[in-house]
Amino acid sequence: MDADVSVIGLGRVGLPLALSFADRGLRVIGVDNDPERIAALADGRMPFKETGAQELLQRVLAAGTFTTSHVAADAARARDIVLTLGTPSFSHIEIDMRDIRSVLDDLLPVLEPGHGIVLRSTIAPGTTEFVAGYLSKHRGFAVGEDVFVTHAPERIAAGRFLEEIDTLPCIIGGVGERSAERTASLFSVFDAPIVQTTPVQAELAKIWTNILRYTQFALPNLLMMDCEQYGANVFEVIDLVNRDYPRGGMAAPGLTAGTCLRKDFAFSEEKSNAPGMLLGVSRVNESVPLFLVQGMARRLGSLNGRKIAVLGLAFKRDTDDERDSLAHKLIRLLERELADVAVHDPHVASPTTSFEEAVEAADAVVVATNHSEFSRPEALLAVTDRAGGDCLIVDPWNALGVGQVFAYASEVALLSAR
Ligand SMILES: NC(=O)c1ccc[n+]([C@@H]2O[C@H](COP(=O)([O-])OP(=O)(O)OC[C@H]3O[C@@H](n4cnc5c(N)ncnc54)[C@H](O)[C@@H]3O)[C@@H](O)[C@H]2O)c1
């Protein structure tokens, strides 16, 4: 074995991890079957934005501690093999493990006693034991003695990887004590505290971290829709709930989505003891784009031929990550109403129009992502100036600071003149 650790799946989770291992002096092989990704990395180019990662990539390439391959079997040249492959959910309320299964099949013939496999992807409860069983069944390994299998879930937020890899507790669920010790030793190159547990508890801890957030955001989203029904202001109600109340803490509404939050609840729903409860949570978050479109139609009449500016395509503030963003769903729904949609996002790779062009003479301006740029006072000023007083401002995040989900630009101008 001529490397210390391999990372298979150089996506938003795997690539920063591989680079961070290499930066701590480990010899790292990064594996991905996307030739464009491998070519970009060989050229020293990060394929997506992650704070500090571009400089890190150049540093580890220069140091010679990070090499790449597009062949999964090459990963077996390292002692530890970390899987950071995507784990979407089927529409059948079931984890889609095809990438994991396919890589395991590539690795089976080349695994040797002494190898450690770390599942870093988010997985349904029971998956780590399945992987251990798969290796025993097909190669006869005694997991925990010959080879080692753990789940070490990723809970780092996009944009904060290089900081949080050293601070967030690193949860490790090992199949047998020796598996856990092996992965703990691998991750001890970082400063984060290590917490050992069982595989299924590590799996549950990760998915319930996300379920908690998904549910916490569904409550203000449901309240926002209820407020529309009662003619109430959701931001004022949330302030009443939270202000000086020691047991408050209601979050703010918004377009709640992204690859993780949108699908991880399904891994729990697979075998839920309260079937449908989390599906209900999902339905609330998924209803917000339709709620916004219907709210616009109620105020403006038919949206056919009306210019609607959508500000933001990313699912998350200040990132370039568009995967599973509800902004796309919002745009699809608006297009189904025959609206003329103009989109602006200062962060994403997809081409969009400039802010000024998007809001110019718009009948409605919708803030779909709460990017910091939209919270600068100049942004609201530009909307009211360029779009005119009849423009409907739709801002479930209150990013522009209007304090209403639906408000006419003329009302906003009056407010700021007071
Ligand atoms: N993105 C996040 O913020 C985040 C946070 C926590 C956990 N997770 C979990 O981490 C896992 C990975 O997520 P991600 O966002 O990095 O996914 P991603 O889609 O960005 O990355 C997966 C990578 O795997 C590669 N790949 C697919 N099949 C392959 C194969 N057979 N061989 C080699 N490479 C292959 C793809 O080309 C891609 O680059 C998922 O389980 C996800 O739920 C993601």
pLDDT in tens, the chain (418 residues): 899 999 999 999 999 999 999 999 999 999 999 999 999 999 999 999 999 999 999 999 999 999 999 999 999 999 999 999 999 999 999 999 999 999 999 999 999 999 999 999 999 999 999 999 999 999 999 999 999 999 999 999 999 999 999 999 999 999 999 999 999 999 999 999 999 999 999 999 999 999 999 999 999 999 999 999 999 999 999 999 999 999 989 999 999 999 899 999 999 999 999 999 999 999 999 999 999 999 999 999 999 999 999 999 999 999 999 999 999 999 999 999 999 999 999 999 999 999 999 999 999 999 999 999 999 999 999 999 999 889 999 999 999 999 999 999 999 876 665 5
Q: How far apart are CA 176 and CA 269, in angstroms?
A: 27
125 CB-contact burial (10 Å; exposed 0-12 / middle 13-18 / buried 19+): buried
Closest protein CA for atom 36 of ligand 1:
9
| Distance from the alpha carbon of residue 311 to the mean position of ligand 1, in angstroms | 27
| Distance from the alpha carbon of residue 159 to the mean position of ligand 1, in angstroms | 16
Q: Shortest CA distance to 233 belongs to which of 418, 416, 411?
A: 411
Kind of pairing between the strands at 3-8 and 406-408: unpaired
Q: Looking at residue 154, what DSSP letter applies?
A: -
Candidate of 154, 168, 317 to mutate for ligand 1, largest count of ligand atoms within 8 Å of Cβ? 154
Encode 220-231: b = buried (16+ Cβ within 10 Å), e = exposed.
Answer: bbbbbbebbeee
Ligand 1: atom nearest CA of 87 is 41
Cβ within 8 Å of residue 55, ≥6 positions away: none
Ligand 1 pocket, Cβ-based, cut-off 6 angstroms? 8-14, 31-34, 37, 72, 84-87, 99, 102-103, 121-122, 154, 158, 259-260
Compute how many other C-beta atoms are within 10 angstroms of the C-beta atom of residue 164: 15
Q: Shortest CA distance to 159 belongs to which of 259, 12, 315, 19?
A: 12
Q: For residue 199, what pLDDT is reported?
A: 98
pTM beyond 0.85, yes or no: yes
Length of the chain: 418
Cβ within 8 Å of residue 312, ≥6 positions away: 327, 344, 345, 367, 368, 369, 370, 371, 374
Amino acid at 238: I
CB contact at 8 A, 288 and 323? no
